Amino acid sequence: MTSAADIRSTLRHGRSSIGAWLTLPSPELAECLAGCGFDWLAVDMEHGAIGIETAGRVFIAAERHGVAPFARLPSADPYLARRLLDQGCQGLIVPVVESAEDFRAFASHCLYPPAGKRGVGLSRGNQFGDSFDTMLNHFQPLLVPQIETRAGVAAAAAIAALPMVDALFLGPYDLSASLGQAGNFATPAFADAMAEVRHACAEAGKAAGIHQVAPVLDGLEARKEEGFRLIAFGTDAQAIRHVFAPLKA
């Protein structure tokens, strides 16, 4: 199975890692996406309709196809993060991060002692004890703060410099809203913000990430050319609508 360590190595070697994005509470749909060649599958718990029980079943579906299960949290909730990691989550995308110190405090709950203060117990994530020592001594989830406000952009360099951060993930819609023109990605302010986040990543040797929401390959290639390497491509719902939208014409 693709692991957090595999994706971390991919990013550190300057290669791209592409993920699917699940918003609908369906392990069967997750399995369909997991069989399409993605490296990881993110359960969207911020804007999607997926709870923790369904997330666990989605993780199983992803693993069946060798795809790393991720989650986008609804907030920097350390105790939900702990539960998802215990369910086998390999990576966490954390929305609206605006402070390096706040993210450091959150991340401490995701790392086992002595690096952090994650609770230690038997769970699905360590195969109910069968891989307990391996997980305790070697596992570190991929940790990805989202930069999606003016304050986040201002703090991007400090956040990217944190040793436990693997990438910064730019949230284009929320960032454009924070800049005063929601959904307008053509403003100079938005272009400057994107450039600042990418520069922060480059200076820290971390990957820049983004969500290419429209499920079109030209858009995916454009994000790669812009320098983004951790890319969520489309969503389950958007992919379905993209295929059937011509029926409305």
**Helix (H/G/I), strand (E/B), else coil: 21:** strand
- Identify whether 65 is a catalytic site residue: no
CB 70 within 8 Å of CB 46: no
**Helix (H/G/I), strand (E/B), else coil: 14:** coil
Catalytic residue among 13, 47, 109, 199: 47
**Beta-sheet strands, E only, within the chain:** 17-22, 40-44, 68-72, 91-94, 142-147, 167-170, 207-212, 230-233
Catalytic sites, residue numbers: 47
